[in-house]
Structure 1
Amino acid sequence: MTPEVNIPEVLAEVTAVFARYEEALVTNQREVLDELFWNSPHTLRYGFSETHYGHADISTFRASLPVQSPPRELLRTVITTYGRDFATANVEFLREGSRQTGRQSQTWLRTADGWRVVAAHVSLMD
């Protein structure tokens, strides 16, 4: 059975939590970023030049950074929900002071603690 795509209230939930994530990213709210990643050894994040497996590894990496992310302009955001418990968020962005387009993909899962990122990937296009 194919899950229903973009149920309005589910799409609204994921859009709101994604906005919370984005705000935390550009304002260096590490505790919110840690909260929004699933606290599991199964969580992964592929960064610009690093790979992290498990929430603890992601959190340790994030804590080592002087700042999270420079200000950026979101060029395109595509959020898609599949049923009531699974979603993806894909973004093209432009960092302040750069002409290089970045891409960010997140896989979100509804957990007992709310929506959490279970997998993420960030890259820059040449």
Structure 2
Amino acid sequence: MDINIPEVVAEMTEAFMRYEKALTTNDVAVLDELFHNSPLTLRYGVTENLHSYDEIRAFRAGRPSVGLEREIYNTRITTYGRDFATANTEFKRKNSTKTGRQSQTWIRTADGWRVVSAHVSLLEA
């Protein structure tokens, strides 16, 4: 298996940065698009455990739309072949003493790269 094929890493990085922009601007339509529409898709957040695309979509619809700006760092995109990837990053929100971690598993579908599993956690500063 080829790991980190340059053109696949570039595609995946573009998808990840599209997700990041949608997250910080509360572009719910893009966020919904980038999660794989499946009952098997999951997202574990800081305060919630979401066990399907429908639960994730419902969470996004009620999510606050202010204070979403953040700085990301130590981002690692790793591809395994042409159709499977992981994206991990650390982040810090403005005016917060906490840092966060975000992990995502992505697959390539007929519609493009989609998140199938995600996890977000916070650490005390």
Q: Give the TM-score normalised by structure 2.
A: 0.96
Matched with 2:100 is 102
Conserved 8 A contact 1:42-1:53: yes
Counting aligned pairs with the same residue, the percent is 62
Matched with 2:10 is 12
Shift of 1:52: 0.3
Structure-2 separation of matches of 1:105 and 1:93: 11
Q: Any stretches of 5+ residues in structure 2 without a counterpart?
A: none
SS, match of residue 16 in structure 1? helix
Q: Return the match for 1:63 from 61, 64, 87.
A: 61
Shift of 1:64: 1.1
RMSD: 1.1
Q: Give the TM-score normalised by structure 1.
A: 0.95
Conserved 8 A contact 1:28-1:69: no
Structure-2 separation of matches of 1:30 and 1:119: 17
Structure-2 separation of matches of 1:36 and 1:30: 10
1:50 matched to 2:48? The reply is yes
Post-superposition CA distance 1:73-120 (Å, at most 9, x none): 012100000000000000011111112110000000001111000000
- 1:19-30 matches, within 5 Å, as 19-30=17-28
1:72 matched to 2:70? The reply is yes
Structure 1 stretches of 4+ moved >6 Å: none
Shift of 1:66: 2.5
